[in-house]
Amino acid sequence: MSDLRQRFFIENSPVRGEVVHLEDALQTILSQRTYAPAIQVLLGEMLSATALLASTLKIKGRISLQIQASGTLKWAMAECNHLGELRALADYEEDPHFNQAEDSSTVLSSLLSPVLFINIEPEFGERYQGIVPLDKPTLAKCLMQYYDLSAQIPTRIVLASSNQRSGGLLIQLLPRNNEEEQQLVDEDIWPRLTLLTETLKTEELTQLDAQEILYRLYNEEEVRLPEAEKLQFGCTCSRERCATALEQIGVESVRETLEVQNPINMDCQFCSTQYSFSAEEALALFGEHLS
């Protein structure tokens, strides 16, 4: 069992779902910084959630969840792209609330005016940003409410994380046309699957593999499993992106920076890769030469 996303279909029904399990990727991400226990759990849940949500996208690009708040937690974000590459980061000040954690509710209830953004950034085409009210006790409940109301796709999500492993499960009732509606024989399927899904426990989600979880929950149903997809830690930083960032701050600021730091060193916050630009290289971005 490792870092995987398993899609599943309940045969002869408009219900599909995903199960994710993160282990190596989670541990890699959590080892990049020192995080308090509750922040580790929050990041684990956010990573599982982005991996689940990424599966619902039909585009090449990335999806991220970003919490912004004005208390001791400033922000936290997790991102997953169409290749199953994940990264995450959080910025916070010490807070006794963050020293103990069972799920994201400890952190969420301590935040001041928090907002959750869902960002979708296709490689080509327009970006999308959705705003999710963080007014429910857990991240999963906030996301479910968002999908039920905004996307109008009935969705159930369960998330769990420790500092070693995280997991998540999502089921959705897909939209149907009139004809499909009439062919739907089993009208109780959604309420039944919803109830079953809610019985899933934190330990099951973090410790069992996808097939075992699906068997425990839905063994009365006919579940079809396509091949699972691999998930891994991956960073989308690059020298080109750093160069673009330098171009955006402008030649004057770059000159000022060079007076105190030459070469200019830029560290990626996610993966610690360092990108270095000599004065010559930095000025060449603006078509200028060293004078």
Binding site for Zn ion (CB under 5 A): 235, 237, 268, 270-271, 273
Backbone conformation region of residue 10, classed left if phi is above 0, alpha if psi is from -120 to 50, else beta: beta
Q: Find the shortest distance in angstroms from Cβ 273 to Zn ion.
A: 5
DSSP state of 149: I
Backbone conformation region of residue 272, classed left if phi is above 0, alpha if psi is from -120 to 50, else beta: left
Choice between 186 and 267, CB closer to Zn ion = 267
115-122 and 4-10 strand pairing: unpaired
Q: Find the shortest distance in angstroms from Cβ 119 to Zn ion.
A: 18
Choice between 183 and 238, CB closer to Zn ion = 238
Choice between 100 and 273, CB closer to Zn ion = 273
Do 119 and 104 contact (CB within 8 A), yes or no? no
Do 87 and 235 contact (CB within 8 A), yes or no? yes
Distance CA 75, CA 67 (A): 5
Q: Find the shortest distance in angstroms from Cβ 271 to Zn ion.
A: 3
144-172 core/surface letters (b: 16 or more CB in 10 A; e: else):
bebbeeeeeebbbbbbbbbbebbbbbbbb
Choice between 190 and 270, CB closer to Zn ion = 270
Q: Find the shortest distance in angstroms from Cβ 234 to Zn ion.
A: 9
Distance CA 96, CA 251 (A): 44
Choice between 8 and 275, CB closer to Zn ion = 275
Choice between 146 and 270, CB closer to Zn ion = 270
Choice between 13 and 236, CB closer to Zn ion = 236
Q: Find the shortest distance in angstroms from Cβ 89 to Zn ion.
A: 10
Cβ atoms < 10 Å from Cβ of 98: 23
Q: Find the shortest distance in angstroms from Cβ 269 to Zn ion.
A: 8
Distance CA 291, CA 274 (A): 26
Q: Find the shortest distance in angstroms from Cβ 197 to Zn ion.
A: 35
Hey, what are 238's tokens? 């690059």
Distance CA 66, CA 47 (A): 11
Choice between 89 and 217, CB closer to Zn ion = 89
188-201 core/surface letters (b: 16 or more CB in 10 A; e: else):
ebbeebeebbeebe
Q: Find the shortest distance in angstroms from Cβ 171 to Zn ion.
A: 33
